[in-house]
């Protein structure tokens, strides 16, 4: 199966991508991993991307698309893959069509993790990071024994700037503006399946697998 996973910040895409990919026996391919691999290995695309990253600029779509193209051409992706973080826009989705056509295949399904904004804000604004060991806790879902103190190393816990409510709301607005057209694009093609991404992780994974069965 060849699928794309989409969902807002805080929807649990990283966790679900890992579990679903293992269940389907396909590689989990995230844009973050692709960037790190190219930059770390000093590939021509990685060196080009690093110039933009070091300057604080967005990496152009062309570089990202070519990195994705190269990754999908690797042997382990020949029988399927789960893409997390790409495409993010309709133009990128059209480029993905071209990549897969060149490889003699096509996308099967787009799985959307559906979470309302209030739940996203609750999930992300409740995170606390240890200044010492960098472990992440959560005031509701995974609280430390002593408020503000890391159980693992005794370090001070703090809220990162990008975990405050105002920043999260802005991230959600950006996501909605760029991804809502993408979701509509795949829905019109009959390729979109959405699942409720609230509740225990195992329950969400079970919903995802059940939803994907009709595309298998």
Catalytic site residue from 13, 71, 128, 207: 13
Active site residue 160: yes
The pLDDT of residue 57 is 82
Output the pLDDT for position 194.
Answer: 95
Residue 100 in tokens: 């897969």
What torsion, rounded to 10 degrees, do the Cα atoms 81, 108, 21, 202 define?
A: 160
In CATH, what is the architecture of 2-115+179-213?
3-Layer(aba) Sandwich (3.40)
Q: What is the pLDDT of residue 54?
A: 86
- The catalytically annotated residue of 2, 122, 127, 207 is 127
Distances in whole angstroms, Cα of residue 101 to Cα of each of 21, 28, 72, 139, 156: 22, 20, 12, 47, 51
Check 50, 69, 135, 171 and give the catalytic one: 171
Q: Is 69 a catalytic residue?
A: no
* Catalytic residue status for 123: no
Respond yes or no: is residue 106 known to be catalytic.
no
Sequence spans of domains, the chain: 2-115+179-213
∠ CA 163-164-170, nearest 5°, is 90
Amino acid 9: pLDDT = 87
The whole-angstrom distance between residue 90's C-alpha and the CA centroid of its chain comes to: 17
Q: Average pLDDT of each block of 10 consecutive residues along the chain (216 residues)?
A: 94 92 95 92 94 86 95 96 94 96 96 94 94 95 95 96 89 87 95 94 94 83
pTM of the model: 0.87
pLDDT at 44 (0 to 100): 95
Q: Is 127 annotated as catalytic?
A: yes
């Amino acid at each position: 199966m060849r699928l794309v996973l989409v969902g807002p910040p805080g929807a649990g895409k990283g966790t679900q991508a890992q579990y679903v990919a293992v269940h389907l026996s396909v590689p989990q391919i995230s844009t973050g991993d692709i960037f790190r691999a190219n930059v770390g290995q000093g590939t021509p695309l990685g060196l080009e991307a690093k110039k933009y990253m070091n300057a604080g600029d967005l990496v152009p779509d062309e570089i990202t698309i070519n990195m994705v193209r190269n990754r999908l051409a690797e042997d382990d992706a020949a029988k399927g893959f789960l893409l997390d973080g790409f495409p993010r826009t309709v133009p990128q989705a059209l480029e993905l069509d071209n990549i897969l056509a060149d490889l003699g295949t096509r996308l099967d399904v787009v799985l959307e993790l559906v979470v309302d904004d209030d739940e996203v804000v609750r999930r992300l604004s409740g995170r606390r990071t240890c200044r010492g060991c960098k472990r992440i806790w959560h005031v509701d879902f995974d609280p430390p024994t002593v408020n503000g103190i890391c159980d693992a190393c005794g370090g001070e816990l703090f809220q990162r700037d990008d975990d405050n409510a105002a920043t999260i709301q802005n991230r959600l607005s950006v996501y909605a503006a760029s991804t809502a057209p993408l979701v509509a694009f795949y829905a019109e093609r009959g390729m979109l399946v959405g699942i409720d991404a609230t509740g225990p992780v195992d329950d969400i994974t079970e919903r995802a697998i059940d939803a994907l069965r009709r595309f298998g």
